[in-house]
Amino acid sequence: MSLRTETAPVRTTAASTAPPTGGLPAGGAARRRHGRFVPYVFIGPAALLFLGFSLIPIVTAIALSFQDSSTSLGDGTWVGGKNFTDMASDPLIGTALRNTLVFTIGTVPTAMAIGLALAVALNRPLPGRSVFRALFFVPMVAAGVVVGVIMSWIFNGDYGVVNNLLDALGLGRVPWLTAPGWAMATLVVVVVWTRIGFCMVIYLGALQSVPAELKEAAAIDGASRWVRFRTITWPLLRPTTSILLILNVVFSLQAFDVIYVMTGGGPGFSTTVLIQYVFRSAFIDARMGYAAALGLVLVAILLVFTLLRQRANKKAEEAI
């Protein structure tokens, strides 16, 4: 009884935020009695803006990737697949790919694991629970640029508070942003800091739909908290985990603002991830065609990753 009063309100709020696809077949009556132009009036503005500011630029970018162009479209000459074959002999591609991999593997599982732990901890009654939720979420609100300048200042080698503390403790100063290995590690920590709140919120939402009856039943059977988590909660969270994984990987592959402000890809090329290299090729090396080609490679990686994940999900669902 008390269980039902507890779960019912949760369900209704969940339903009002993410309504199930339902209702009658879409707009049957509308088609019968009204002009066929009506839907086009509603979709029109979006479609026009999509054409002008999305589709045309995308098509242009594809065209650009087959050209040798220094500044903009028009002055380039068609070079076929040269931009793509050039990548094979560009040593920086390997560096950028390796950095991207390190950055992604460093940020994604860490942020997800901490976010999940916090969500589980905050999913039961605790003193100050809502305050904790708000505090963990706050970093999400800050712009990438703001995060970048604050963290550059905190990790500043000469005056930063972290190094001042280490100095006061008698430990040495660390070149957080000025030595290759350290710079990447610092960026990973900073980006994880911005991402924990997001993972926590998504996991919290999913945890609310794990039926309390199941866990209580397992508890009566004497299952420990860890066993309950592993055998009940974790499998039920699988769809959420895979969505979060895709989103986090996409975020990490597209992470730009923080890296741009904090290291600009340096020192050397030690924090130049793929997206940073695209930007660099276009606006610093003035190789627009090459940059466009690099961008398409990045899009291809994103697509392949998403498709792989979707297939793995389908297989997992079939297995259950």
Partner 1 sequence: MALSVADPTRASRPAPRRRPVRPGRWVLVAGLTALAVLMVFPLYWMLVSALTPGGQAQSGTFSLFPTRPTFENYTQVFSTQPVWRWLGNSALITSVGTALSVVVSLMAGYALAKFRFLGRGLLYSAFLVTIMIPIQVTLVPSFLVVAKIGLVDSPWAVILPTVFDVVGIFIARQFMLGVPDALMEAARLDGAGEFQTFFRVVLPSCGPLVGVLVILGFMTRWNDFLWPLVVLQGNENLTVPVALSTLTNNPAFSSPWGAVMAIATVTVLPLLVVFLAFQRQFVQGIASTGIK
- Among 236, 245, 250, 267, the residue binding partner 1 under the rule CB under 8 A is 250
Q: Does 72 bind partner 1 (CB under 8 A)?
A: yes
Number of residues that bind partner 1 (CB under 8 A): 122
**Shorter beta-carbon distance to partner 1: residue 105 or 140:** 140
> What binding mask, one character per residue, do residues 267-296 give for partner 1 by CB under 8 A, x or -?
--------x--xx--x-----x--xx--xx
The tokens of 142 are what? 């800050």
Q: Does 193 bind partner 1 (CB under 8 A)?
A: yes
Tokens 């990686």 belong to which residue? 301
CB of residue 18 vs partner 1: minimum separation in angstroms? 6
**Shorter beta-carbon distance to partner 1: residue 196 or 237:** 196
Residue span binding partner 1 (CB under 8 A) among the ranges 55-63, 103-111, 174-182, 227-235: 55-63
Please give the C-alpha separations between residue 16 and each of 11, 13, 126, in angstroms, as whole numbers.
9, 5, 26
Q: Does 93 bind partner 1 (CB under 8 A)?
A: no
> Measured between alpha carbons, how far is 69 from 61 in angstroms, rounded to an integer?
11
- Among 113, 217, 227, 303, the residue binding partner 1 under the rule CB under 8 A is 303
Q: Does 118 bind partner 1 (CB under 8 A)?
A: yes
> Measured between alpha carbons, how far is 260 from 204 in angstroms, rounded to an integer?
32
- Computed from CA positions of residues 304, 307, 312, 315, in that sequence, does the dihedral angle turn out positive or negative? negative
- Among 101, 105, 121, 227, the residue binding partner 1 under the rule CB under 8 A is 121
Q: Does 176 bind partner 1 (CB under 8 A)?
A: no
Q: How many CA atoms lie within 13 A of 80 on its CB side?
A: 2
> What binding mask, one character per residue, do residues 196-225 give for partner 1 by CB under 8 A, x or -?
xxx--xx--x--x-------x--x------
Q: Which helix (H) or strand (E) holds 221?
A: none
Query: In 123-233, which residue ranges form alpha helices assigned H by DSSP?
Result: 129-137, 144-154, 161-168, 180-208, 212-220, 225-228
Q: Does 264 bind partner 1 (CB under 8 A)?
A: no
CB atoms within 10 A of CB 301: 15
CB of residue 154 vs partner 1: minimum separation in angstroms? 6
CB of residue 318 vs partner 1: minimum separation in angstroms? 21
- Among 101, 105, 165, 312, the residue binding partner 1 under the rule CB under 8 A is 165
> What binding mask, one character per residue, do residues 145-164 give for partner 1 by CB under 8 A, x or -?
xxxxxxxxxx-x-xx-x-xx
Q: Does 54 bind partner 1 (CB under 8 A)?
A: yes
> Which residues 129-148 are close enough to bind partner 1 by CB under 8 A?
132-148
